[in-house]
Amino acid sequence: MLLSIPPAQPQTNPNAWQVAAAWLDEYITSNVETEIARLTEQLFLTDGLVADVPGQLDALQREVMEQATLRLEVAELREGTRETRTDVDCLKGMVEGQPSSYREPFNLGDFQQKVESLEETTKTGQQGFSKQLSNTEDTLCVMSTRLAVIEQELQMLKQRMDQGGEEKRRELQAVVAGVQIKSQKMQAELTDITRHRQEDRI
């Protein structure tokens, strides 16, 4: 509100300078500084989201490395199973090619049972690795989706902040311009008060 002092009674508000200064300080504090603080807080939150993205990428990279390791272990296990089957077939052929007098002490049936048990254990282990690999792939898919969502939200947030920042800058400029205009008008009012006080003293 602009000060309005009737010329006939310029002495009715001798503290006009103090009142004007207090009003201007309060206006700047409640408008400009508050808005700047709010924008600073929003930028701080955005920086926090940006800083969290490298951590998400590191976690995703670790998942990819673990998946590659599991794939290698499964491949090695399958290769070991094939080699075991080849060795068993070769040994069975050698034993079966010998006379019965050589086969009996060897107990081919017990040997075949042990081989079948080994194959079953290998199969179970392979299934376990395959299941673990599948779980890892599911986890990797979820993390990839999550990271894509984070990156999309971050991009949208940056766009909103850019747009909002430009709008807020214009708003702040308008506020500052308004303060300057009011300050100039108040300065003119105070100049008139000073002139009237000097005229009264004369």
| pLDDT single digits (tens) 133-186 | 566 556 556 655 666 666 666 666 566 656 666 666 666 666 666 666 665 666
| pLDDT single digits (tens) 91-131 | 666 655 555 554 444 455 665 666 666 666 666 666 666 66
Alpha carbons within 13 angstroms on the beta-carbon side of residue 138 total: 6
| Mean pLDDT over each residue of the chain, to the nearest integer | 63
Please state, in angstroms and rounded to a whole number, the distance separating the CA atoms of residues 109 and 111. Answer: 5
Residue ranges of the domains in the chain? 25-201
What's residue 195's pLDDT?
66
Q: Which of 58, 75, 68, 52 is nearest to 151 (CA)?
A: 52
What's residue 7's pLDDT?
42
Please state, in angstroms and rounded to a whole number, the distance separating the CA atoms of residues 92 and 29. Answer: 93
Please state, in angstroms and rounded to a whole number, the distance separating the CA atoms of residues 77 and 125. Answer: 8
What's residue 62's pLDDT?
76
What's residue 41's pLDDT?
75
Residue 145: CB atoms within 10 Å: 10
pLDDT above 70 coverage of the chain, percent: 16
Better pLDDT: 42 or 99: 42
pTM of the predicted model as reported, rounded to 2 decimal places: 0.29
Report how far apart, in Å, the C-alpha atoms of 114 and of each of 90, 97, 117, 118 are: 15, 20, 5, 6
User: Is it the case that residue 38 has pLDDT exceeding 70?
Assistant: yes
Query: Rg for the chain (alpha carbons), in Å?
Result: 42
CATH number assigned to the domain covering 25-201: 1.10.287.1490
What's residue 69's pLDDT?
74
Please state, in angstroms and rounded to a whole number, the distance separating the CA atoms of residues 108 and 92. Answer: 8
